[in-house]
Amino acid sequence: MRWITSWCKKELTKQNFRLAGWLSVGYFIVLFLSIVIGQIDRFSHINKNPSNYYYYDNLMIHGGFIPAVLLFIMPTLTALVLFRYLHKQDASDFIHSLPSTRKTIYLHHTVFGIFSILIPQILTYISLFIVDQAMDHQNLLDLADINRWFHLSASTGLIVFAVSVFVAMLTGVTLVQLIFTYIFLFLPVGLTFLVVFNMHYALPGLSMNYLVEDVIIHFSPLTDLEHVFMETDMNWTKVMIYYGLALTILVFSYFLYKRRPVESANQAIAFHSLKPIFIYSFTSSFTLIGGMYSGIFQYELPILFLMYIIFSVIGYYISQMIVEKTWRVFGKVKQLGYFFVVAALVMIGFSLDVTGFVHRVPDPDKVKEVYVIDDDYNFTERVNYYGRQPGFNDPEDIKNIQALHEDLIDSVERHDFLNYYRSIKIVYILENGSEMVREYSLDDEEFELYENYHITNHPMYRRYSEPLFYINPAKANKIEVKSEHYNYKELKITNRDQIIELIERLRQDTLALPQEDHLNYMMNYLTIHTPGEQEVYINLAYEYESTLQWLDEQGLTKEALILTEDVERIVITPYKEDLYHEAASYETAFTDDERTIYTSPEAIDQLLRQMTAGTGEPTYMMMVYLKQLSEPLMRSLDETIVFPE
């Protein structure tokens, strides 16, 4: 204890409390009102009305917007007021004239800052714990939820604080500290995004999403918000890394503090040696922004280079103005000259693709698996949710995909990435465990080339692309078959054997299905429910032959599906856009000559099988009247429809 008392200066702490204590107190009040009171309210609602039950165990979400925003504002403000003295010459002189070493001063301020962030969170933690113990809440909250909330809040708060302290050391101006705290938090993603975007000009096939979403986004809690707020399971490794990173940044900042010249108060950049680094980084970032600006407006290549030049000049002079704190910087051109030379060399290097990035296709023998992904978002979601399914691993398939890859390399244009084309991603998992990822934006012609390889029909592709193959049939507890129109038909299957059989049939059918745009959908869909997991949704089509046959065998068809016998009549009229899809308007807008009414079971059956013929330009409107139901089901059809005799 002795070392603490000798080290801890009560009056200095008091002074810190006068400066930053109000932030801490305010933060606790907000946390208490939004999170603790919020939980109490939620539980009393549920106790009063148990049907009002909703289960969501993420306290971050329950707290709402304000505590989430405060998690990024409060630590920054704390660092801002605690280290304000560094940025005022008189205060800085005074503090450093005191008989305290820089270590003592730094520790006082950072430890105070850490406590002023943690204490409100700890108090909230205790309050939540008491609420959890004292209230009857039907297991809506448990210690794990509270722990998760606490560690996510604490690690995020600390890392924001640490970054802000770090920036405080680098600058002598508080406003710069404020702005650059957030710039630094965005920097990993922002800079990568800019660099990758601009590299696309030179290197077709580069996958931006892969880099940004899979790797860099996790580097900063500010860009990792989705994970902080949405994850139902806390990623302990990440939390530990955030804690460790916060500590590392604070220790590093201490060494900066020791070396920081006191006289740099009021200077934008505290360390003389950082000035050129700042100027070149800022200029580079601006140049890259120029490239992106040019990309967004789809400028041609010469304009792109003009944009590079204009933005680099703007960025260069802005950075000079920040560093020199004056407008009169236009005489300084030497560093800009150096920048142009290096930037030109880098651009030439990338354009010539000196590393052979563009044409690289891995050696088939070294490839363990390949994924071809044309719906990256859902693929990533599935992998994050269920884990990975095996990809193509048959040597023939790998060869086939490599042929596709080489075709793509030959056909894609540098500018393709700027267009909102469909994109195809090829992910090679190599024998040594590393990944090689390429992504191509394909125009219609190139997409046709891709389709010619029939990859989406391949059972392997189906296996890793359909959620149906990811779920564990033994865990599913319910399958519902519903129909889209007012739930005209509804069937629930809860028998375990039936569930497992049905999933097996569905899988069989899925592997054998033709391409998606050749399917003839029915008016029925099916959902597979697994407790604690997302449900799997399948739109039934006539091509699910084995499934339909199974339903028939089990005698469930009549109960589950809308069949020909359920249809009273089908009316077909020309399509009129201004009538919208209102049955009554369609009924009255046309004369009997323009309308055709079908009532024979054969005609109805034939029409029902063509309900999805609506992908082209709408020409007809089909209204299906079900028995005992006044409102018809409406579909627009294109001209490919074949009318019954």
Partner 1 sequence: MINVRQVQKKFEKELVVNIDEVTIEQGTIYGLLGSNGAGKTTFLKMLSGIIKPTSGTIVFEDEPIYENKRLKERVIFIPDQPFFFQHYSIKQLADFYREQYPSFNEARFNECERIFKLDTKKKVHTFSKGMQRQVSFWLALSAMPDYLILDEPFDGLDAVVRKKIKNLIVRDVAERNMTVLISSHNLREVEDLCNYIGIIHRGKYVIHRDIDDLKTDVHKVQIAYKTAPDDLFDAFNVLHHESRGSVHMFIIKGDLDIIEGYIHTTSPILYDILPLTLEEIFVYEMEGIGYAMDHVLV
The helix/strand/coil state of 619 is coil
Residue at token pair 């693929």: 379
With respect to partner 1, which residue has the nearer C-beta, 92 or 294?
A: 92
> Buried b vs exposed e over 541-577: b needs ≥16 C-beta within 10 Å?
bebbeebbebbeeeebbeebbbbeebbebbbbbebee
Select from 2, 5, 11, 580 the one that contacts partner 1 (CB under 8 A): 11
**Residues 14-33 close enough to bind partner 1 by CB under 8 A:** 15, 18
**Residues 333-392 close enough to bind partner 1 by CB under 8 A:** none
**94 near partner 1, judged by CB under 8 A:** yes
Question: Residues in contact with partner 1, total (CB under 8 A)?
Answer: 22
Task: Enter the tokens of residue 446.
Answer: 């190139």
Select from 100, 174, 266, 557 the one that contacts partner 1 (CB under 8 A): 100
Residue 435 β-bridge partners: 429
Residues 110/165, Cβ–Cβ less than 8 Å = yes
Least Cβ distance, residue 259 to partner 1 (angstroms): 9
Residues 503/473, Cβ–Cβ less than 8 Å = yes
CA 313 to chain centre: 34
With respect to partner 1, which residue has the nearer C-beta, 263 or 639?
A: 263
What are the helix (H) ranges across 554-600? Answer: 557-560, 583-589
Least Cβ distance, residue 263 to partner 1 (angstroms): 6
DSSP code for 535: P
**97 near partner 1, judged by CB under 8 A:** yes
Report the alpha-carbon distance of residue 517 to residue 391 in Å, rounded. Answer: 23
Least Cβ distance, residue 154 to partner 1 (angstroms): 30
Residue at token pair 């204590």: 21
CA 37 to chain centre: 30
- Hey, CA dihedral for 225, 226, 232, 235, is it positive or negative? negative
Q: Which stretch binds partner 1 (CB under 8 A): 7-15, 22-30, 484-492, 552-560?
A: 7-15
Select from 101, 298, 393, 452 the one that contacts partner 1 (CB under 8 A): 101
**Which residues, other chains included, contact 209 with Cβ-Cβ below 8 Å and sequence gap of 6+?**
376, 425, 439
Q: 272-311 mask for partner 1 (x: CB under 8 A)?
A: x---------------------------------------
- Hey, CA dihedral for 162, 167, 172, 176, is it positive or negative? negative
Least Cβ distance, residue 97 to partner 1 (angstroms): 5
Report the alpha-carbon distance of residue 88 to residue 100 in Å, rounded. Answer: 18
Q: 36-75 mask for partner 1 (x: CB under 8 A)?
A: ----------------------------------------
Least Cβ distance, residue 275 to partner 1 (angstroms): 9
The helix/strand/coil state of 639 is coil
Q: Which stretch binds partner 1 (CB under 8 A): 99-107, 209-217, 497-505, 630-638?
A: 99-107
With respect to partner 1, which residue has the nearer C-beta, 9 or 137?
A: 9
Q: Which residue in 166, 211, 208, 204 sits closest to 184, CA to CA?
A: 166
**Residues 236-275 close enough to bind partner 1 by CB under 8 A:** 261-263, 272
Least Cβ distance, residue 267 to partner 1 (angstroms): 10
Least Cβ distance, residue 286 to partner 1 (angstroms): 25
Q: Which stretch binds partner 1 (CB under 8 A): 89-97, 221-229, 361-369, 389-397?
A: 89-97
With respect to partner 1, which residue has the nearer C-beta, 15 or 610?
A: 15
**96 near partner 1, judged by CB under 8 A:** yes
Least Cβ distance, residue 272 to partner 1 (angstroms): 6
Task: Enter the tokens of residue 611.
Answer: 């309900």
Residues constituting the chain: 645
Least Cβ distance, residue 90 to partner 1 (angstroms): 4
Select from 69, 91, 240, 301 the one that contacts partner 1 (CB under 8 A): 91
Q: What dihedral angle (degrees, nearest 10) is formed by the CA atoms of 152, 154, 157, 162?
A: -120
Question: For the chain, what percentages of helix, strand and coil (3-state, to nearest 5) are there?
Answer: 60, 10, 30
Least Cβ distance, residue 10 to partner 1 (angstroms): 6
Report the alpha-carbon distance of residue 438 to residue 405 in Å, rounded. Answer: 9
**98 near partner 1, judged by CB under 8 A:** yes
Residues 268/325, Cβ–Cβ less than 8 Å = yes
Q: Which stretch binds partner 1 (CB under 8 A): 38-46, 95-103, 240-248, 594-602?
A: 95-103
Q: Give the Å distances, CA to CA, from 48 to 52, 76, 137, 461, 486.
A: 9, 41, 11, 50, 32
Least Cβ distance, residue 334 to partner 1 (angstroms): 15
Select from 37, 53, 93, 559 the one that contacts partner 1 (CB under 8 A): 93
Q: Give the Å distances, CA to CA, from 453 to 356, 390, 449, 461.
A: 26, 20, 7, 12
**396 near partner 1, judged by CB under 8 A:** no
**174 near partner 1, judged by CB under 8 A:** no
Q: Which stretch binds partner 1 (CB under 8 A): 91-99, 208-216, 544-552, 597-605?
A: 91-99
Least Cβ distance, residue 424 to partner 1 (angstroms): 54
**Which residues, other chains included, contact 604 with Cβ-Cβ below 8 Å and sequence gap of 6+?**
564, 567, 569, 570, 598
**10 near partner 1, judged by CB under 8 A:** yes
Give residues in contact with partner 1 (CB under 8 A). 9-12, 15, 18, 90-91, 93-94, 96-102, 104, 261-263, 272
